[in-house]
């Protein structure tokens, strides 16, 4: 497999390029991402074809992207075009323009686009039955998946550009409630069969993707006054759409997070999202920053024999490699964390949770990545990197959990009322404190960066956890450090800590 590959998504609104550098044992690391708004759908839905200026602009963007890809060492450029190219009668002109740039442009069917979007936003193996909704410029892709199976795939002729310029409703000015209801009825008429199929099968989780979803989430967050741009609720979206409809496009772009390039298509795109939330009775959508291009990358890897490894493990390893982690230390902390977990469960000190233990071990691999920025306060930087990494295979709550685990492996330790834990479900806080303490102990045990601990044993006796550490070397510094966190341990577990050391 080549070291770097470029993936280009030629969409109805924008052209995106993702350049990925691949490392052994991982799904690769993005090293470049850019997009340019071309709006191929505007001329298509207004005139029935791609006009010459639009094709020329697309050609200019593709030429520049091809140049950037090659300068980044890409030996392959994989390019796919979606709805506008599928529907344009002169699509061959776009394909020829791409060929002049040295790019073979594939025009993919709608259901294939839905399949690739699912791979990009939910990964190839969904732990829960997941509904993916990608609202593009010309079409909306629907994918319902569980495990490795696609339960339902469809592509609807609904999108932000189509609903803004192809409905006969002028959205450059204010949009009346009656006009907005007409837009939503158009959506309902297009997706009747899809809604019935999805409702019959059911779902546990909804992930939204695309620029439309991201902008709506950002605008909802700005309206509520916080930074959580990873979720859209039905109540908040309805309030936002009422506000947008009461404004002209010129007024909309003065709102936080509504750019000039989105102001005239925000109502068209928002009508699709709101109508689908109503029709499918969705109260909450998680918003992913991934999409078709990430799905293209995953599909590429699967076709090269990488279909069986863990997406989560791969994305964590790739981030660790990119940040230059100390591999020997991270492997030691992973090993010690796992040993402590198993011993504590066996001794009846805590309940077992495969899911939380898995997140702990991923956090152990990433706990020191903040040193990439600066070792001073590296735990804080580790939190920031993980929380903003959009690691493939993890939902937002899992990223927050791992980020907080790394935040407290070093320095002061939180109590149940810490301001850092206020957003966490109160029922989850006790478990979090226990797993955070395990990571802290594991990191301390490798304080000498020598992997000297051979065995860890735990026993619960009369309200005290007796921890026996078997080691190859002197652990006097470790002994002092562990004694300093005894009170934090007691707060986390409700038990006293006693540590004994056996030198071999």
On whether residue 301 sits in a domain, the answer given is: no
Nearest to 367 by CA among 306, 298, 427, 441: 441
What's this model's pTM, rounded to 2 decimal places? 0.71
Are 118 and 100 within one domain?
Answer: no
On whether residue 238 sits in a domain, the answer given is: yes
Half-sphere CA count of 12, side-chain side, radius 13 A: 37
Domain of residue 164, CATH code: 3.30.420.150
The two tokens of residue 495 are: 């038990």
Strands (E), 100-201: 105-107, 126-135, 140-147, 149-156
Nearest-angstrom CA–CA distance, 323 and 382: 10
Q: What was the pLDDT predicted at 30? A: 85
Nearest-angstrom CA–CA distance, 136 and 83: 9
On whether residue 305 sits in a domain, the answer given is: no
Are 270 and 317 within one domain?
Answer: no
Nearest-angstrom CA–CA distance, 429 and 416: 6
Are 119 and 104 within one domain?
Answer: no
For 36-74, what is each residue's pLDDT tens digit? Answer: 999 999 999 999 999 999 999 999 999 999 999 999 999
Q: Give the burial string for 355-390 (b: 16+ CB within 10 Å, else e).
A: ebbebbbbbbbbbbbbbbeeeeebbbbbbebbbebe
Are 273 and 402 within one domain?
Answer: no
Nearest-angstrom CA–CA distance, 479 and 57: 66
On whether residue 201 sits in a domain, the answer given is: yes
Q: What was the pLDDT predicted at 392? A: 76
Nearest-angstrom CA–CA distance, 132 and 295: 12
Are 231 and 335 within one domain?
Answer: no
Are 148 and 50 within one domain?
Answer: no
For 372-416, what is each residue's pLDDT tens digit? Answer: 999 999 999 999 999 998 787 788 889 999 999 999 999 999 999
Are 18 and 74 within one domain?
Answer: yes
Are 132 and 36 within one domain?
Answer: no
User: Would the pLDDT of 325 be above 90?
Assistant: no
460 and 349 Cβ atoms separated by less than 8 Å? yes
Nearest to 275 by CA among 161, 171, 186, 174: 186
On whether residue 76 sits in a domain, the answer given is: yes
146 and 130 Cβ atoms separated by less than 8 Å? yes
- Which of 52, 83, 108 is a domain's end point? 108
> What is the extent of the structural domain holding 229?
111-292
Q: What was the pLDDT predicted at 123? A: 86
Beta bridge partners of 131: 144, 206
**Which residue do the tokens 């280009």 mark?**
8
Nearest-angstrom CA–CA distance, 387 and 85: 36
CA angle, 253 as apex, 250 and 255 as ends, to 5°?
Answer: 125
226 and 240 Cβ atoms separated by less than 8 Å? no
Contacts of residue 117, defined as CB under 8 A and 6 or more positions apart, other chains included, come to 132, 134, 141, 143, 209, 291, 292, 295
DSSP-derived secondary structure for 414-474: --TT-GGGTTS-TTTHHHHHHHHHHHHHHHHHTTTSS--EEEEEEEEETTEEEEEEEESS-
Nearest to 205 by CA among 138, 123, 302, 82: 123
CA angle, 253 as apex, 247 and 256 as ends, to 5°?
Answer: 105
Are 260 and 395 within one domain?
Answer: no
Are 150 and 71 within one domain?
Answer: no
Name the domain count of the chain. Answer: 3
Nearest-angstrom CA–CA distance, 248 and 252: 6
For 254-288, what is each residue's pLDDT tens digit? Answer: 998 899 889 999 999 999 999 999 999 999 999 99
Strand order across the 105-107 sheet: 29-37, 14-21, 4-10, 76-81, 105-107
On whether residue 302 sits in a domain, the answer given is: no
Are 353 and 483 within one domain?
Answer: yes
Q: What was the pLDDT predicted at 307? A: 62
Confidence category of residue 151, pLDDT binned at 50, 70, 90: very high
């Amino acid at each position: 497999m080549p070291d770097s590959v470029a993936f280009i998504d030629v969409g109805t609104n924008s052209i995106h390029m993702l350049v990925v550098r691949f490392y052994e044992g991982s799904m690769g690391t993005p090293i470049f991402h850019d997009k340019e708004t071309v709006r191929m759908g505007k001329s298509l839905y207004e005139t029935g074809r791609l006009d010459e200026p639009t094709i020329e602009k697309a050609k200019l963007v593709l030429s520049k992207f091809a140049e950037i890809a090659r300068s980044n060492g890409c030996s392959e450029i994989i390019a796919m075009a979606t709805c506008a190219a599928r529907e344009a009668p002169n699509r061959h002109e776009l394909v020829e323009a791409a060929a002049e740039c040295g790019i073979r442009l594939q025009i993919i069917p709608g259901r294939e686009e839905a399949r690739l979007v699912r791979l990009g936003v939910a990964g190839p193996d969904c732990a829960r039955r997941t509904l993916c909704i990608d609202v593009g410029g010309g079409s909306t892709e629907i994918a319902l998946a569980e495990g490795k199976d696609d339960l339902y795939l469809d592509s609807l002729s609904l999108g932000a550009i189509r609903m803004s310029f192809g409905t006969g409703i002028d959205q450059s000015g204010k949009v009346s409630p009656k006009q907005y209801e007409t837009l939503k009825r158009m959506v309902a008429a297009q997706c009747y069969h899809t809604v019935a199929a999805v409702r019959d099968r059911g779902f546990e989780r909804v992930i939204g993707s695309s620029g439309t979803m991201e902008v709506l989430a950002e605008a909802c967050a700005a309206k509520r006054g916080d930074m959580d741009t990873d979720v859209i609720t039905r109540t908040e979206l309805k309030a936002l759409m009422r506000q947008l409809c009461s404004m002209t496009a010129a007024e909309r772009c003065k709102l936080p997070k509504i750019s000039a390039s989105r102001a005239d298509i925000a109502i068209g795109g928002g009508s699709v999202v709101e109508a689908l939330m109503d029709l499918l009775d969705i109260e909450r959508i998680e918003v992913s920053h991934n999409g078709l291009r990430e799905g293209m990358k995953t599909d590429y890897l699967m076709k090269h024999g990488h279909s069986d490894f863990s997406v989560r493990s791969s994305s964590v390893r790739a981030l660790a490699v990119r940040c230059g982690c100390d591999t020997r230390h991270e492997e030691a902390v992973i090993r010690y964390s796992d040993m402590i977990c198993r011993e504590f469960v066996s001794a009846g000190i805590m309940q077992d949770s495969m899911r939380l233990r898995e997140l702990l071990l991923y956090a152990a691999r990433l706990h020191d990545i903040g040193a990439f920025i600066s070792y001073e306060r590296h735990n804080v930087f580790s939190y920031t990197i993980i929380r903003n990494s959009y690691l493939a295979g993890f939902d937002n709550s899992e990223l927050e959990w791992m980020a907080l685990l790394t935040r407290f492996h070093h320095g002061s330790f939180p109590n149940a009322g810490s301001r850092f834990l206020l957003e966490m479900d109160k029922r989850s806080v006790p478990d979090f404190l226990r797993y955070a303490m395990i990571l802290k102990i594991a990191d301390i045990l490798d304080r000498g960066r020598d992997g000297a601990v051979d065995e860890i044993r735990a026993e619960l006796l009369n309200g005290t956890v007796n921890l026996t550490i078997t080691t190859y070397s002197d652990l006097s510094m470790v002994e002092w450090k562990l004694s300093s966190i005894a009170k934090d341990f007691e707060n986390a577990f409700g038990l006293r800590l006693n540590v004994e050391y056996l030198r071999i």
